[in-house]
Amino acid sequence: MAIIRVEVLEPKPGKRRLQPMWLAWLGQTMPPLATLWLTDLRRFALEHWYRFSKQRLHWTQPQFTSLPASERWSDLMPLLSWQLWLAREDCRDHPLPWQSPQNSLAPGRVAQAFASILVAIGTPAPPPKRRGKAPGRATGQTPAPRPCYPTVKKRVSKRKKTEQSPTASNPTAA
């Protein structure tokens, strides 16, 4: 592992002072220092994709009860992103009143206008058949309760004042 500090030695006049950037390299052979900082620029595309997946594609919203179900949902996120990327040529922009029209659509705009593509291509499934009123659950039958998992704590909680040691609260005792 190598730790590298990237710093602007001669800042442009009138610009704010840039903080040094720390990079870590994990790997067998380290690339030349002249090109190493360029690999960090790829990080921004990934960070924007994670934000888009969480906010627009609702990656983290479902609460699955099993790990395989959540893994399948996570496996769908790159496929959904590619589907939006490939559909941008077939999609017409329908901006909302406060949005300006765009020539090259971003994935968020494609997701906004994707309904028009779905209406145009239709569905291969036949329409649902009416079956009447469903009988529902049998009387007296209750479903199994949803499994409870322990809460994940991200930090250690502070001790309450009543739980503190008596020597810390009473300095005269000893």
pLDDT confidence of residue 25: 81
92 closest CA partner among 101, 100, 83: 101
pLDDT confidence of residue 54: 93
Question: Does pLDDT of 163 surpass 90?
Answer: no
pLDDT confidence of residue 167: 56
Enumerate residues 6+ apart whose C-beta is below 8 A from 20: 5, 6, 7
Sign of the dihedral defined by the CA atoms of residues 62, 44, 25, 11, in that order = negative
Query: The whole model's pTM is what?
Result: 0.57
Q: What tokens appear for 164 in the block? A: 């503190």
% of the chain residues with pLDDT over 70: 89
Q: What tokens appear for 118 in the block? A: 């779905």
pLDDT confidence of residue 173: 53
For the chain, give the mean pLDDT. Answer: 83
Model pLDDT for residues 116-161, shown as the tens digit of each residue: 888 888 888 998 888 888 888 899 999 999 888 888 887 776 766 7
Q: How far is CA 60 from the centre of its chain?
A: 7
37-51, 97-111, 148-162: range with lowest mean pLDDT: 148-162
